[in-house]
Amino acid sequence: MIRKYRKKLQARTKCGDLIRFFNVKKRTYVFLDEKKCKKTILFKNKTSKGTRICYRIQAIDNDRTILKKIAHKVVFDKLNDGPGPGKPTSL
């Protein structure tokens, strides 16, 4: 059951090398290249059951809107750590 959930999650979140974000300014979904995204760990909480880690993916859209997304560890680990938002990419 967990494997089915992970496959659905990966299918909804990733499309090849594109990642889906929701742009609040445009009120639509935007697909951005994986290389333009930056991975960060948002926080780590110690709980009675162990450590809870929250992962975040951040990117900048064409209209300079900052897009942020909370991701599961499976999706987070599959991403290549690109240069991040605001930094030029080499062609």
> Residue 84 falls within a domain, yes or no?
no
Amino acid at 58: Q
pTM of the model: 0.65
pLDDT at residue 73, as a whole number: 87
> Residue 83 falls within a domain, yes or no?
no
SS3 of 86, please? coil
Block residue for tokens 């709980």: 47
16-25, 57-66, 75-84: which range is least confident on average?
75-84
The two three-digit tokens of residue 20, written as one number = 């889906």
pLDDT at residue 14, as a whole number: 52
CA distance 43 to 63: 28
> Residue 88 falls within a domain, yes or no?
no
> Residue 10 falls within a domain, yes or no?
yes
DSSP label at 3? H
How high is the mean pLDDT of the chain? 78
Query: Can you name the residues that pair with 50 across neighbouring β-strands?
Result: 47
Short-list 46, 47, 15, 43, CA closest to 31:
15
- pLDDT > 70? residue 40: yes
pLDDT at residue 56, as a whole number: 92
> Residue 90 falls within a domain, yes or no?
no
Domains: count for the chain: 1
18 CB-side CA count, 13 A: 10
> Residue 24 falls within a domain, yes or no?
yes
Q: Which domain holds residue 35?
A: 2-78
> Residue 65 falls within a domain, yes or no?
yes
